[in-house]
A and B are shown apart, each in its own frame.
Chain A
Amino acid sequence: MSERYDTIVVGAGHNGLVCASLLGKAGRKVLVLEANDRVGGAAVTREFADGYSVSSCAHLLYQLQSQVTKDLGLKVELARDKLGTVALSADGKHVRINGNDVSGVGDEDVASYRDFRKRMTRFADLLKTYLNKTAPRLAKDASKSDMLTLAQLGFDIRRLGRKEMQEFLRLIGMNIRDEVTERFESDLLRGAVSFDAVLGTHLGPRSPNTIMTYLYRLAGSHARLSQPAGGMGSVTEALAHSARENGVTIRTGMKVKRIVVQNGRAAGVETESGETFSSRLVVSNADPKSTIMNLVGARNVETGFTRRVHHIRMRGDAAKLHLALDGLPSIAGVEKREFADRFVIAPDEVYVERAFNHAKYGETSAKPVFEITFPSFRDDSLAPTGKHVMSAIVQYVPYELREGWSDGARDAFTKLAIDTLSEYMPDLPQRITASELLTPADIEQQFHISGGHWHHGELVLDQFLFTRPVGGAHQYAMPLDGLYLCGAGTHPGGGVSGAAGRNAARAILKSEKVV
């Protein structure tokens, strides 16, 4: 073993960096090992065509927790803040959503949307408190702080008031489709809200649980969308900077092959290149499945736990489509300044549901849904002058395509996606100079996330709070002494929020005193 560290963090994704930085700040000697040549994990900016760069996976920032930025004194420079949402209609009569306001719909919908948002943000605020805490254990011998958290949760729910509390307990397991159809007349509004609820999940608007995913999206900044200058990579660069400031060593291009286990303890790591590093603690930013099954190995943990990890559902459905454009496409009814905003293609909730249907059978959507941004519009570092990039999340693109992923399958879907986009942007095909489609299978391969799932595990009530990643191992410490998880696969889940990394760091500092 070459050098000894207190803690080794496997993976320099944003959660790994948050965790490492906080540990470093507390005086721990921390080494971060990243497989790729740069930090960031799935939160990176990358050139995908000559002169064209884009945030490879996550492309909008809205969940970064204030607790994280505060604890680390982090400042993120934004190319654009408070992006509006344009729910596209093929006929140019779009619906525009900005915070609690919506336009292009009837007065009743305007009021109803405001009510809806008010309630949802209130519930999301409640949720936010608990996203930034370790989920308690449910056990007769749980710790005092666990009991306190539980009691506080009960108290906070009650404090909503009788009626709101009843609503909270009713809505939390419900589907978004019932809520939007009860509330809104406008198809586009229904579609856009449904879309936000199912983004990044293997769920359709009719699936129970989609209110919860919607709340999760709001639990941060109430889904105030912003675009970091220089792409998402600059957020993680900033985190890396903070980590280094706190004395953390970060080494890139070091793919960890396995976590070394000695005498029933995680004792360090071995890299693909054969280097070993020993440490007292190992914290994995990788997803729970690859951490346990690949890095640790089932033989070093127990069978019941292995089985639970094995059953974590994490098959991604979200693909990223990147287009290099020689100019902005034209969209009927959209002014040029609006290209700074976010576009959504989800004409109504039924459309979204039908798009999802295919994913259940290992097919790609015949009519996919999109979240589209033109990041170069407000950030000229991303494309040559006068040129633009489009960054779009496309759903549903199953991780396990029935006939298997191939270049042909990828090309066919790229064409279908562009055809769909062309219905709204007729001149788009002529503007494309290069394109890239990252399917969940590609994301798995390039960012080492099992299933290419951006939450490192489906974000559903049965994989949430007490049962994320698995029940009984939901407090960041794994049932292998010295091993912790700090990635999106742990509570509270994914998105560029930093909550998991921060919670993990706090859990480690609390239970692993330096001897």
Chain B
Amino acid sequence: MTIAEVEQGRLRSPFFPRQAELDRLFRWHEWKGYASADGFYDTTLEYFSVRNSTGVFDLTPMTKYRITGPDALDYLNRLVTRDMSKIKPGRVAYAVWCDDEGQVIDDGTIFHLRQGEYRLCSQERHMAWLTAAAIGMEVSIVDETEDVCGLAVQGPTSFSVLQAMGLDGIENLRPFGLTTFDFQGTELMVSRTGFTGDLGYELWLTPDKAIELWDALFDAGKLYGIMAMGTEALEHARVEAGFIAAYIDFLPADVTVRTGRSRSPLELGLEWLVDFKKPNFNGRRALAEEKRNGSAWRLVKLDIEGNKEAHNSYIYAGKKGGKNIGFVTSAMWSPVCKQNIALGTVQAPHGKVGDKLYVEIYYQREMHWSRVMAEATVVDKPFWDPPRKRATPPGPY
């Protein structure tokens, strides 16, 4: 008997049949082996659905680990930099985890599903690191990526959509809270989380009811401007929200080849996630030393003059240029802020809030390349941060 070969092409999420029906662009890329759409109809419209109505993004390829066992909390507390004992059941924590050198391996969300039962969710895969972290601990780590599928339902009307879908009590769900509903006999977990910086939810359930969930959601959303969205729209939304992404704004330290290319949470502006009051966590010693001696890099949010997008630009301290002090990692024109924005990494001590830096922008118009040195102001707040994101209950549409 021949053993069947593993799937040679891209995996299809359980939502794929519905997405394929909607797809008019035929633009897909790969995300952890899954086919993931760049967009479905018009990426600009999809982007605006997040800011104007509701966009639905397929989260299934996110890596998900179920973490249980008597040491689960101790395990997580040692794994991530923030204090997980403060995250009660029904709450979700955004967290980063580091290697012993205090370099970020990845960021992700940890769902405290039930007492002592957690789900860690991240863009990249980490079974090897999580297994190493479990040496000497009584904890079980199960990869449930394929057992749980998910949809991000994001945008100002998302609350109304879910209410219309019949999720009673959703109005009480606070940001970073999670709750469960019965959905056609299956448990539907809803968390008030997202990667868009707007009002939004993430819906999780087993793949057998995926199509039903999609249909119920889109039925309920008909009057609320619901749209499927692809990665391009999401990417714009997350830059406006000031969120960082692995392999774009930082590299997972455990698989970074060149020394000095990884970053610490302090260097990524995530010091608020680092709780030095915890006596031990991975990277603590190195981070404490970094805190004492100062960081080498600093992540900056840049408000750039003009309207030329600063993709891959070098950053300088002065208008004349000279030696660059860093580079832009994410850049875009923000349609909703009407602002030329970017995320970048610069060498300390540059990049303090309020600093005026310069970015070298090359842009092309009809085969003609031009260069500008544009002033860029370091800002501290997310570019897009509407109050509705935080309101509980959220306002109706």
Contacts and interface: CB of A to CB of B under 8 A. Distances in A.
B282 A264 contact: no
B133 A303 contact: yes
Interface string A299-333: 11111111100100000000000000000000000
A306 B130 CA distance: 12
B307 interface: no
A305 B280 contact: no
Interface in A229-266: 261-265
Contacts of B99: 303-304
B136 A306 contact: yes
A484 to B, nearest CB: 16
Contacts of B284: 264, 302
Given A298-B137, A479-B285, A303 B71 contact: no
Contacts of A479: 100, 285
Interface string A262-287: 11110000000000000000000000
Interface in B220-251: none
Nearest to B279: A264
Contact of B280 (A300, A304, A307, A310): A300
B137 A302 contact: no
Given A264-B280, A293-B136, A307-B132, A299 B71 contact: yes
B132 A302 contact: no
Contact of A306 (B71, B132, B279): B132
Most A-side CB within 10 Å, residue of B136, B137, B284: B136
A450 to B, nearest CB: 13
A264 to B, nearest CB: 3
Contacts of A480: 280
B135 interface: yes
B78 interface: yes
B371 to A, nearest CB: 37
A99 interface: no
Contact of B135 (A261, A262, A310): A310
A426 interface: no
A267 to B, nearest CB: 11
A293 B135 CA distance: 9
B79 A303 contact: yes
A173 interface: no
B394 interface: no
A301 B285 CA distance: 10
B363 interface: no
A299 B99 CA distance: 14
Nearest to B79: A303
A305 to B, nearest CB: 6
Interface string B129-142: 10011011100000
A104 interface: no
A399 B284 CA distance: 36
B136 A302 contact: no
B147 interface: no
A299 B136 contact: yes
Most A-side CB within 10 Å, residue of B71, B79, B129, B135: B135
A298 B79 CA distance: 12
Interface in A477-496: 479-480
Q: State which size class the interface on A falls in.
A: 20 to 34
A302 B79 contact: no
B74 interface: yes
Interface string B93-126: 0000001110000000000000000000000000
Contacts of A384: none
A305 B101 CA distance: 10
A302 B135 contact: no
A301 B280 contact: yes
B200 interface: no
A362 interface: no
B168 to A, nearest CB: 41
Contacts of A306: 132-133, 135-136
A297 interface: yes
Contacts, number: 58
B252 interface: no
B129 A302 contact: no
A262 B280 CA distance: 10
A480 B279 CA distance: 10
B39 interface: no
Given A298-B137, A479-B285, A303 B132 contact: yes
B80 to A, nearest CB: 11
A227 B54 CA distance: 85
Nearest to B254: A304
Nearest to B283: A302
Contact of B282 (A265, A297, A303, A310): A303
Contacts of B279: 261-265, 300
Interface in B286-322: none
A302 B282 contact: yes
A261 B74 CA distance: 14
A299 B279 CA distance: 10
Given A297-B136, A298-B135, A303 B285 contact: no
Contacts of A261: 279
Contact of A307 (B79, B101, B135, B283): B135
B280 A303 contact: no
A305 B100 contact: yes
Most A-side CB within 10 Å, residue of B71, B78, B99, B283: B78
Interface string A340-357: 000000000000000000
Contacts of B101: 304
Contact of B100 (A264, A302, A310): A302
Given A293-B136, A299-B71, A310-B135, A304 B285 contact: no
Interface string B25-69: 000000000000000000000000000000000000000000000
Contacts of B74: 299
Contacts of A304: 99-101, 132, 282
Nearest to A263: B279
A302 B71 contact: no
Contacts of A300: 279-280
A303 B136 CA distance: 10
A298 B136 CA distance: 5
A297 B132 CA distance: 14
A307 B136 CA distance: 10
A264 B280 CA distance: 6
Nearest to A303: B133
A383 to B, nearest CB: 45
Given A307-B135, A310-B135, A299 B100 contact: no
Nearest to A304: B100
A307 B130 CA distance: 11
A410 B99 CA distance: 44
Contact of A299 (B78, B132, B283, B285): B78
Contacts of B133: 303, 306
B73 to A, nearest CB: 11
Contacts of B136: 293, 297-299, 306, 310
Top 10 A-B pairs, shortest CB-CB distance: A298-B136, A264-B279, A304-B100, A303-B133, A307-B132, A302-B100, A302-B282, A303-B282, A310-B135, A306-B135
Given A299-B137, A303-B132, A306-B133, 6 more contacts: A264-B284, A293-B135, A298-B137, A304-B100, A479-B285, A480-B280
Interface of B: 71, 74-75, 78-79, 99-101, 129, 132-133, 135-137, 279-285
7 contacts: A300-B280, A302-B280, A302-B284, A303-B129, A304-B99, A306-B133, A306-B136
